[in-house]
Amino acid sequence: MNTSPEKYVERLLAVFDKKHALLLEMLAITRRQSQSINEDGLESLEKAIGEKQSIIDSIDKLDEEFDVYYKRLKQELRVKSLDELENPDIKGLKELKSLTGRVMELIREINRLEKENSTRAKELLENLAGEVRKLNQAKKVNTAYKPGSAMQPPSYYIDKKK
Rounded Cα gap, residues 109 and 152, in angstroms: 60
CATH code assigned at 92: 1.20.58
Report the number of distinct structural domains present in the chain: 1
141 assigned to some structural domain: no
18 assigned to some structural domain: yes
CB atoms within 10 A of CB 129: 10
73 assigned to some structural domain: yes
Of 124, 137, 11, 10, the closest CA to residue 65 belongs to: 11
71 assigned to some structural domain: yes
The predicted model gives 35-45 an average pLDDT of 77
Domain range for 97 is 5-125
Q: pLDDT tens, 74-93?
A: 888 888 887 777 666 788 88
Q: From start to end of the chain, where are the E strands?
A: none
147 assigned to some structural domain: no
Q: What b/e readout covers 49-73, taking b as 16+ CB neighbours within 10 angstroms?
A: eebbeeeeeebeebeebbeebbebb
85 assigned to some structural domain: yes
Rounded Cα gap, residues 64 and 72, in angstroms: 13
148 assigned to some structural domain: no
Q: pLDDT tens, 126-161?
A: 888 888 888 888 888 877 777 655 556 677 777 777
134 assigned to some structural domain: no
